[in-house]
């Protein structure tokens, strides 16, 4: 190896990490140059998050060495990692909603710049330097997803990090927000910081990365040059297969209306409208896509349909039944599958084994129950089926779901919600965090079910997915539908414009 002209930001050498029944990392070698964006890619369960947790002191490696800016270190906690210059932003943000930007920023770092004007000045400096657009005195609950993410990045910079780990930061962003984040990352680079960027979206990787490291089955299998590599080559390196794309198929839309909403309005406790006069119909065999910038009512729409909120006015019909006031359990028993937006809060019991998670939300129906009783054997057997059909990588069905990689948790939820032949599927970001191979498999499952008459409400931030799977796309903006589009002719740019209020 040649002698580098400047000291590497990070050198990981021979890193190994074992969990019961799994080798999460072995013989991992990664070199991060200073002032670069370094992408880490690989299929679900390849070991990316584990490696980053090791670099951030959350996990202790069993083997190998970590060298930061020329100095070999042993990191026993995130505090020690931050002292060494490494910060990490997790996918599930760790912010207190009822506190201000400033309060969140200084929490646990009071010694650095105090809690008053010194802190305020430093926050303004960071915000301006990197284009974060953060007002220190705004409550975090007022911030959208993208602003919260910028706050998380600002938080680690405030603590002095020069090496910033972002684990799938763009999974929760729409295209315009991704562009804005990339601008921020360029500024970070320009100031000499290094960014470690994990993503399953290969276009993004090619757009932002200076270096790419590929992981497969726990180890680093190679690097790729973003200047010359193609998406196909990256996909091949990652999953060893061709790159899939969601292809629009022949329409299977029937005349039978499965779900209809008429003038549904939802008002919060202050009398503000979260949803205004929403009407839609989804027929058997039809996929209705909902496009929107996160936070424009799509979560409320889904929760209203799923009986977690009761509309203030308007009517919801499932087939020919008025279900406006039904509870979630009744709706599920009537045959609605539900893939929630937040898999940790609404989709999984993290400490329960996979087979118990199979029962969650399905406890009153076979194969999870038999008469009034939980059918352990039935649930276990069906979990084995889901694990096989959806390629959920896990040591076994007795593994707690917490031990699964993010993408594998998502595959388990999709498999569960597609089981028992639902009549209607309410899917929020069904392929968020899953690798390109698994994404294609999930699309195939949804398409097959659609051919057999499944009606689907698809909320997704992935515009290619929306265009590829939907029969019709509605754009939601500030709780109203502001445009209907035909996926066979619409472009992601058209949708983006409508989503940000640029089209009538
Ligand atoms: N705390 C844990 N206990 C047991 N096994 C774990 C734990 N954390 C991770 N694993 C296992 O280690 C392997 C690597 O997981 P990791 O989360 O690093 O994958 P990943 O590359 O980040 O995948 P994804 O793209 O799905 O997020 C997986 O087999 C996972 O099940
Ligand atoms: Mg991960």
- Return the exposure string of 375-391: e unless at least 16 CB atoms fall within 10 Å of the residue's CB, then b: beebbbebbeebbeebb
Query: How many C-beta neighbours within 10 Å does residue 372 have?
Result: 6
Ligand 1 pocket test, pick from 44, 49, 391, 412 with the greatest ligand atom count within 8 Å of Cβ, gives 49
Q: How high is the pLDDT of residue 2? A: 46
For the chain, give every domain's residue range.
10-239, 257-335+422-499
Paired strand residues for 69: none
Q: How high is the pLDDT of residue 427? A: 95
What are the residue ranges in the chain where pLDDT is below 50? Answer: 1-4, 504
> CATH topology of 10-239 equal to that of 257-335+422-499?
yes
Ligand 1 pocket test, pick from 39, 43, 45, 401 with the greatest ligand atom count within 8 Å of Cβ, gives 45
The CATH code of domain 10-239 reads 3.40.50.300
Q: How high is the pLDDT of residue 137? A: 92
Q: How high is the pLDDT of residue 504? A: 45
Region class of 192: left (phi > 0), else alpha (psi between -120 and 50), else beta? left
Distance of alpha carbon 410 from alpha carbon 433, whole angstroms: 7
Mapping DSSP onto H, E and C, the string for 92-141 reads: CCCCCCCCEHHHHHHCCCHHHHCCCHHHHHHHHHHHHHHCCCCCCCCEHH
Residues with CB under 6 A from ligand 1: 19, 22, 24, 42, 44-50, 393, 403-408
Q: How high is the pLDDT of residue 341? A: 86
Q: Which atom of ligand 1 is nearest to the CA of 409?
A: 26
Instruction: Find the ligand nearest to 167 CA.
Output: 2
Radius of gyration of the chain (CA): 23
Q: How high is the pLDDT of residue 14? A: 98
For domain 257-335+422-499, the CATH superfamily is: P-loop containing nucleotide triphosphate hydrolases (3.40.50.300)
Q: How high is the pLDDT of residue 1? A: 45
User: Which protein residue has the closest C-alpha to ligand 1 atom 17?
Assistant: 405
Residues 6+ apart with CB under 8 A from 250: none
Distance of alpha carbon 121 from alpha carbon 127, whole angstroms: 10
- In angstroms, what CA-CA distances link 90 with 82, 93, 408, 431? 14, 6, 17, 18
């Amino acid at each position: 190896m040649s002698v580098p002209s400047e000291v590497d930001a990070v050198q990981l050498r021979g890193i190994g990490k074992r969990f019961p029944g799994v080798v999460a990392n072995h013989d991992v070698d990664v070199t991060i140059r200073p002032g670069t964006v370094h992408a880490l890619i690989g299929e679900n369960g390849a070991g990316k998050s584990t490696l980053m947790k090791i670099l951030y002191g959350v996990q202790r490696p069993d083997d190998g060495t970590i060298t930061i800016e020329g100095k070999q270190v042993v990191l026993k906690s995130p505090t020690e990692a931050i002292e060494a210059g490494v910060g990490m932003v997790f996918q599930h943000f760790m912010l207190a909603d009822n506190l201000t930007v400033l309060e969140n920023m200084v929490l646990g770092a009071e010694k650095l710049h105090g809690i008053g004007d010194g802190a305020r000045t430093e926050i303004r400096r960071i915000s301006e330097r990197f284009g974060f657009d953060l007002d220190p005195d705004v409550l975090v609950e007022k911030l959208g997803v993208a602003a919260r993410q910028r706050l998380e990045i600002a938080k680690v910079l405030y603590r002095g990090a020069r090496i910033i780990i972002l684990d799938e930061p763009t999974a929760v962003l729409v295209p315009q927000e991704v562009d804005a984040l990339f601008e921020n990352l360029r500024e970070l680079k320009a100031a000499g910081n290094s960014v470690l960027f994990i993503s399953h979206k290969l276009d993004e990787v090619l757009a932002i990365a200076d270096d790419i490291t590929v992981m497969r089955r726990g180890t680093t299998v190679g690097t790729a040059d973003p200047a010359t590599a193609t998406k196909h080559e990256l996909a091949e390196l990652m999953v060893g297969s061709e790159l899939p794309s969601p292809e629009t198929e022949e329409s299977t839309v029937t005349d039978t209306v499965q779900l209809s909403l008429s003038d549904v309005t939802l008002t919060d406790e202050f009398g503000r409208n979260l949803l205004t006069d929403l009407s839609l119909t989804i027929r058997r065999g039809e996929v209705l896509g909902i496009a929107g910038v996160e936070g424009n009512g799509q979560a409320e729409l889904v929760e209203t349909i799923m009986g977690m909120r009761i509309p203030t006015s308007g009517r919801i019909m499932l087939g020919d039944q008025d279900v406006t006031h039904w509870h979630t359990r009744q709706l599920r028993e009537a045959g609605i599958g539900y893939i929630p937006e937040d898999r940790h809060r609404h989709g999984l019991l993290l400490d329960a084994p996979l087979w118990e998670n199979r029962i969650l939300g399905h406890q009153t129906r076979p194969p999870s129950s038999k008469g009034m009783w939980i059918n352990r054997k039935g649930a276990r057997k069906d979990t084995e089926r889901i694990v096989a059909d959806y390629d959920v990588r896990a040591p076994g069905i007795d593994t707690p779901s917490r031990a699964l990689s993010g993408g594998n948790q998502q595959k388990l939820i999709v498999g569960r919600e597609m089981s028992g032949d639902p009549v209607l599927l309410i899917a929020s970001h069904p392929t968020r965090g899953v690798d390109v191979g698994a994404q294609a498999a999930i699309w195939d499952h949804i398409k097959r079910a659609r051919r057999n008459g499944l009606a689907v409400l698809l909320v997704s931030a992935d515009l290619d997915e929306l265009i590829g799977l939907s029969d019709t796309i509605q754009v939601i903006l500030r709780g109203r539908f502001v445009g209907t589009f035909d996926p066979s002719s619409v472009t992601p740019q058209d949708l983006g414009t409508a989503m940000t209020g640029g089209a009538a």
